[in-house]
Amino acid sequence: MSVSPRLTLLLFAALLLAGGVAAAQQPPSSATQPSSTTQPPSTNQQTPASTLHRRTAPPVRTIHLDVVVTRKDGKPVSGLQAKDFTLLDNKTPLPIGSFQAYEGEQAPVQVVMLIDSVNTDFNILAQTRIEIDRFLLANGGQLARPMTLAVLDEQGGIKMQRGSTRDGKLLAKSLDAYDIGLRDVGRSAGIEGDGERFDDSMKAMRLMAGYASGQPGRKVILWVSPGWHMLSGPEIDLSSQQEEAIFNEITWFSMAFRDTETTLYAINPLGIAESVAREFYYEEFLDGVKKPGDVNFGNLALQVLAIQSGGLALSSSDISGLLRQAVEDTQAYYRISFEPPPTQRRDVYHKLEIKVDQPGVVARTNTGYYDEP
C-alpha cells in the first residue's frame, strides 16, 4: 500500500526542508554552533530539492579520506606507510596523493557524544545514563579525547555543552543537569509517529553536520540511540519526488561527512533487547545508491550513515564498553588524498575500498562518494 497522505506530506516536507537548509553550502549559522539549546529550523521553510547542491564556488576535486586500520581484536594499527595502502575506486586502483599518519596525542580528534531521547524508550534511556556515567567516570574521570556532550531532546531540539573537555566528572555533572524526558508520542502513533521521529532525526543529523563544519580537524560523533524507524518495506510506496529528495539527502550526507572530516558511530543501547530482525535490517541498505529510483528511507538509517562514513554500528547493553571501543578507534588513523577520475556528470556513485598489505587487518573509511565535474 502507499504511504498515507499525512505521512507523505510530513516526510517530503522534511526532506525538502533539509535541502533548503544546506542549499548554498555556506558555513553553519548560529543555530548550529555550540549553545545551551539548538532548535531545528522551522518547517515552514520549503525549498525545492534541486537546490540542494548549489555552490557559491567550484567544487574541489581532490578527495581526502580518514582511514582507520584495525586488527581482528578491534585494536587500531599504527606505524603503517603509504606503500602499505591500495586505494580502489570502483575496483580500479588509483594513486594515493598525500599521506599522513596520526597516532596518540598527535591525532587531532574532537568527540561529540549525543544522547538521543527522541528514539529511545524511557526505561532504556535511564539505564543508558547510568552506563554513560560509568564511561565518563572511569580512569578517574580523565577522558582519552576532548569531548562535547549533546542531547537530542524529546521536543526534537539539540542541547549542547559549550566547548569540549577531557574532564569526565564535569561532563557527568552536565549530564545530570539535563532534563531528558520521555518523548510524547501520543500526538501520533504507528507509522505516522515513526515519520515524525524520522523528521526530527534528519534535522538533528543536519545540525550536527553543520556544527562539525565549523570545527577544526577530525570529528567523531557517538550517536547513542537504537536509531529511527527505517520506514521501508512493501507498504511504503514512494513518489518520484520523494525518491529524488531522498537521493539528494543521501548524496549530501556523503559529501558533508567527508568534507567535514566527520565519522559517525551508531551506539545501540538495546543489546539483547533488540529483535534480531530489526538489529540487522539496516544491512539491506548499506550498498551505495546509484540513482533516485533505487532509494528507500532505510538508506538514511543511523546505522547505514555511520558505516558509510567510515564508522561502526555497535549494539550492546554494555554502553560504556561500546563508547570505549569507539573512542579507541581514534588512537591511530591515516589521512590520504586522491584525485577522482574526470567526469562530465554529477552524482555518479563511486564505491571505495582500502586494501592494506598487512595480514589480519581491516581498513575502514568512507564507503563511497558521488563525483562532480
Nearest alpha-carbon partner for 296 in 257, 249, 255: 249
Binned at pLDDT 50, 70 and 90, residue 180 comes out as low
List C-alpha distances in Å: 314 to 111, 113, 229, 300. Answer: 17, 14, 17, 17
Q: In the prediction, which pLDDT does 185 show?
A: 40
What is the arithmetic mean of pLDDT over 317-326?
A: 96
28 has a pLDDT exceeding 50:
no
| pLDDT average, residue stretch 3-19 | 45
Question: Which cell numbers hold the place of 59?
Answer: 567544487
Per-residue pLDDT tens for 239-279?
999 999 999 999 999 999 999 999 999 999 987 667 766 77
Q: What is the pLDDT of residue 60?
A: 60
- pLDDT category at 284 given cuts 50, 70, 90 is very high
263 in helix, strand or coil?
strand
Question: Residues 336-359: what's their mean pLDDT?
Answer: 94
Q: Can you list the alpha helix ranges (DSSP code H) found in the chain?
A: 5-21, 122-137, 168-177, 190-213, 240-259, 276-279, 302-308, 319-328
pLDDT of the residue at 92: 97
**20 vs 24, more confident:** 20
Three-state DSSP state, 37: coil
pLDDT-above-70 percentage for the chain: 79
Radius of gyration in angstroms for the set of CA atoms belonging to the chain, rounded to a whole number: 20
CB 93 within 8 A of CB 356: no
d(CA 29, CA 355): 39
pTM: 0.85
Instruction: Give CA–CA dist 225/19, Å, rounded.
Output: 24
In the chain, what percentage of residues exceed pLDDT 90? 63
pLDDT at 108: 83
Residues 2-24 have a mean pLDDT of 43
Q: Is residue 134 classed exposed, middle or buried when 0-12, 13-18 and 19+ CB atoms within 10 A define those classes?
A: middle
Q: Could you tell me the domains of the chain?
A: 5-17+110-330 (3.40.50)
What does the block give as the cell for 171?
A: 561532563
pLDDT band at 52; cut points 50, 70, 90: very low
Q: What pLDDT does residue 283 have?
A: 94
pLDDT one-digit tens code per residue, 130-151: 999 999 999 999 999 999 999 9
